[in-house]
Chain A
Amino acid sequence: MKNQATPKNHKLTRRDFVKHSALSLAAFSTSASRLNAAGTDTIKVGLIGCGGRGTGAATQVLLSTNTPVKLWAMGDLFQDQLDKSYKMLSEGAEARYDRDAFKSLSSRMDVPKSRRFVGFDAFKGVIDSGVDLVLLATPPHFRPEHFDAAVAAGKHVFMEKPAAVDPTGVRTLLAAGQIARQKGLSVVAGTQRRHQNHYLDILKRVRDGAIGEIVAGHCYWNMSLAWDQFKVPKTPGMSDMEWQCRNWFYTTWLSGDHICEQHVHNLDIINWGIRDHPVQVIGMGGRQARTGPEYGNIFDHFACEFEYPNGVRVLSMCKQNKGAAYHVCERLVGTEGRMYTDQAVGYIKDLKDNVTYKYDGPNENPYYQEHRDLISSIREGKGLNEARNIAESTMCAVIGRMSAYTGRALKWDWAMNASKLDLRPDKYEFGDLPLRPVAIPGKTQLI
């Protein structure tokens, strides 16, 4: 029964879904995979997307808990990526910005060759391999389809941010997120700030009125060229599709551009603090420094004004330029004070900019904490479900990009209900796929 629902849901609009799910609610009621609360059952984990972040997420889920968790299956589009990740997990690796150094994890792995899948449908192999939890860490483009398939199959999900690259994908996410809720599945998104103590503390205070009524905000991900080493030049013999998938960060249909891929973290905090999503956006951006063909078709800077209910406007800035001033943080301005948060600290300030409260409690590494929270939700059947949060934060980034690319202001409701933008290629196969031109405001159409 539940499998039947999947292929249909994939094509359902949000409106259709609501109708559909009301009719068949009972069908979902017993679908969560069975694990006991005592923590003795082994949670079998499938990794879908074996790049740097996926490998990091796998180490973090395995090391986040003393209860039995086992890596059970792996899948990637590319054999070499999968092999590299498998080797790394088996043998250990150095630290990265989002991952501690780790030694061999082979005692927590049981991934024979028969459960290592390669290709565009590798995700299906992983989902069907008997896992309880899947980690979705492919380029963001694939997330809606993978999430939908995982939920349909009754799997708990950890999905990296962002979770889509266009409104079509966001609608799929929201629909699948609802099904996950009905099935009691646990869904955690890789917006790890939501699991970081100082963010939790400061945002609770803000939501409880510590800065009065929120009237403005600012958030930024301005940085130097941190992603430069990941660019992949096109080599002879490499198909367009392969090049774009390997160079995914710089290809809008795969990453959503850096406003989605990176800045979604900061936008997520603003939504969290304001307790809502924006009603409209007007943005600008361009590609001024990072202009070579190896940088695909993404912009290198964006500035957007998001307007929330009651005329509350939030400035969002993100850029990736050599030598740019590093500025990654969030601010909310209220009638009685201000909030400042970044990855390390959180403050409440008064209207004169004096710090009146600073979080100085313990701070767990959020890259572990998010998995700890997920595992405990799965074991205790808490049904922690962050799908809606990440879908809405992703949509903020998507509409910001759409506005910057076209130069047009747009409304949330239009984007959510009427935009037909769907960045999927005609077919998923290695072959010709001309890179779409870099967007030009006033010329690129709003779809």
Chain B
Amino acid sequence: MKNKVMKTMPDLSRRDFIKASTALGAATLASPASRMFAGGSDKIRLGLIGCGGRGTYDTTNCLNCAENVELVAMGDLFADRMERCRSRLTEKLGDKVKVTDETCFTGWDAHKKVLGCDVDLVILTEPPGFRPSHLRAAVEAGKHVFMEKPVAVDPVGVRSVIESSELADKKGLTIVAGTQSRKMAHLIEGMKRIHNGDIGEIIGGQCVRLGGGMLTWSEQTKQRQPGWSDMEWQLRRWLFMTWLSGDFIVEMHIHNLDRMNWAMGAHPVQCIGMGGRQARTGPEYGNCYDHIAVEYEYPGGVRIEYMGSQIDKVTYRQDNRVIGTKGKAYTDSGNLIIEGDKPFKYDGPSPSPVIKQHADQVAAIRSGKHLNEGKRIAESTLTCIMGRMSAYTGRALKWDWAMNASKLDLSPPKYEFGDLPVRPVAIPGKTQLV
């Protein structure tokens, strides 16, 4: 029965799905996860979708986070990426890697083929522009999902991720997002204290991450090679293409802005931003900006300022700070310090957050515990996206509009290797708010 549902799902829209599921009855949804885990050590069969550096890293951590986790399938758009990842994983992890030539896939539908294998959990680490459609396919196929941040590049994608996450809840699937800050012991303790009122009522904050031009990223693709179509060139340089990465505020600084949402216990209600491309201007850097500043307004008129850049040879700074009526909390990736009425400095253990994020998920899968970070990471992703949209257009915008009304959809007309001009770099006042 459940397999039948799975087969019909992929073509259903969210609206259709609700109708269909109502018609089919709750029983069909009660046990739709791909496999039930009765004990605490059942084997978990892992599939990897997106075999770049991050995919290799996450897979390594996932295979090492608990006993009895095996990689059984992998897929990437490019054969060279897939092969390199496969040999590195095999070399490092030996017989935890059970992939065969028959379970290694390349091409635009590699993700579907991985999902078609007998896997329980998939890691989604392709460029963020693909995340919404891959998440949807994975959840519809009844797979647990670990997905890297960010999880979308536009509001249309964010809405899709939220729908897929709701579907995952209905199916009892777990979703974990790669915002490892959330697993850092010092931040967990610090946020608990902030939420307990140790710095009083939150009335302001800063989120700063400046410096680091990423100029040496993927050096071998800097020079466009003969024979690369526009599409291939952009995919190989995905970090600097807004439709693939979402720009650096989304791709990288989501970690920092996610921590602000965490501290605030809310997402922003509106924002106003600015930015541009002043130092990193060559064509190999696609159409991303190199600096963005955004003022986010949270409920109650609390303003948090974000400043981010990726520029070399400037003052480097990373700084997350929350200000309350009775103190200040520094919530950086390395330290947790509270100053004020109830001073505190975390000096407890700091287990690896990148292992813990996988271990927690594997444990949740085995115990049938609810664990779904999809909506939260979608909201943090939209926080970043709306900041970028404001910087690109020069317009102020509201969360509700971005979440419900924005039609921005950066996906290309078709997914195939061929002509695809790089969209021009955004110009505030000219680039339209969509």
Contacts and interface: CB of A to CB of B under 8 A. Distances in A.
Asked if A pairs with B, the answer is yes
Interface of A: 212, 215-216, 218, 222, 224-225, 282, 284-289, 300-301, 303, 305, 311, 313, 315, 317, 319, 321-325, 327, 331, 333, 335-336, 338, 349, 351-353, 406-409, 439-443
A198 to B, nearest CB: 20
Given A287-B278, A303-B293, A352 B300 contact: yes
Contacts of B429: 224-225, 289, 321-324
Contact of A289 (B311, B317, B427): B427
Contact of A407 (B200, B313, B328, B426): B313
Given A319-B428, A351-B300, A352-B300, A443 B394 contact: no
B428 A324 contact: yes
Nearest to A440: B279
Nearest to B280: A442
Contact of B293 (A284, A288, A352): A284
Given A325-B396, A442-B314, A284 B307 contact: yes
Contact of A215 (B213, B309, B323, B425): B323
A442 B313 contact: yes
5 contacts: A288-B276, A305-B305, A315-B293, A351-B201, A406-B314
B279 A443 contact: yes
Given A333-B204, A335-B325, 11 more contacts: A218-B303, A225-B429, A284-B291, A286-B275, A289-B429, A301-B275, A319-B394, A321-B274, A322-B394, A323-B429, A442-B279
A288 B309 contact: no
B378 to A, nearest CB: 26
A336 B200 CA distance: 11
B216 interface: no
B353 to A, nearest CB: 28
Given A284-B293, A351-B325, A216 B307 contact: no
Contacts of B279: 407, 440-443
B317 A441 contact: no
B293 A317 contact: yes
A409 B317 CA distance: 9
B151 interface: no
Nearest to B390: A325
A216 B300 contact: no
Interface string B305-330: 10101011111010001010110100
A331 B272 CA distance: 15
A441 B314 contact: yes
A225 B328 CA distance: 39
Nearest to B278: A286
B430 interface: yes
Contacts of A353: 300-301
A288 B428 contact: yes
Q: What band does the interface of chain B fall in when counting residues whose beta carbon is under 8 Å from A? A: 35 or more
Contacts of A289: 394, 427-430
Contacts of A333: 203-204, 303, 323
Given A287-B278, A322-B430, A351-B325, A442 B311 contact: yes
A338 B301 contact: yes
A171 B325 CA distance: 37
A285 B311 CA distance: 12
B300 A441 contact: no
Interface of B: 200-201, 203-204, 206, 208, 210-211, 213, 272, 274-279, 291, 293, 295, 300-301, 303, 305, 307, 309, 311-315, 317, 321, 323, 325-326, 328, 393-396, 425-430
Contacts of A215: 203-204, 323, 328
A228 B350 CA distance: 55
A299 to B, nearest CB: 8
B206 A313 contact: yes
A223 to B, nearest CB: 10
Contact of A325 (B201, B394, B430): B394
Q: Which 5 A-B pairs have the closest CB atoms?
A: A407-B314, A303-B293, A322-B429, A286-B276, A353-B301
B276 A301 contact: yes
A307 to B, nearest CB: 10
A286 B291 contact: yes
Nearest to B308: A284
B309 A335 contact: no
Contacts of B312: 442
A215 B303 CA distance: 12
A441 B395 contact: no
Contacts of A218: 295, 303, 305
Greatest chain A CB density within 10 A among B211, B277, B279, B393 is at B279
Nearest to B396: A325
The listed residue with most B CB atoms (<10 A of its CB), out of A288, A325, A331, is: A288
A402 B313 CA distance: 15
Contact of B277 (A288, A300, A323, A439): A288
B276 to A, nearest CB: 3
A128 B291 CA distance: 50
B315 A408 contact: yes
A325 B390 CA distance: 10
A441 B200 CA distance: 38
Contact of B395 (A300, A324, A335, A443): A324
Residue among B203, B312, B394, B427 with max Cβ neighbours from chain A (10 Å): B394
A323 B396 CA distance: 10
Contacts of A225: 429
Most A C-beta atoms less than 10 A away, residue of B208, B274, B396: B274
Given A313-B206, A323-B395, A353-B301, A216 B317 contact: no
B304 to A, nearest CB: 9
Contact of B427 (A216, A282, A288, A408): A288
A137 to B, nearest CB: 30
A303 B427 contact: no
B314 A288 contact: no
Contacts of B200: 335
B313 A301 contact: no
A322 B295 CA distance: 19
B272 A216 contact: no
Contacts of A300: 276
Contact of B311 (A222, A319, A407): A407
Given A216-B203, A305-B307, A409 B315 contact: yes
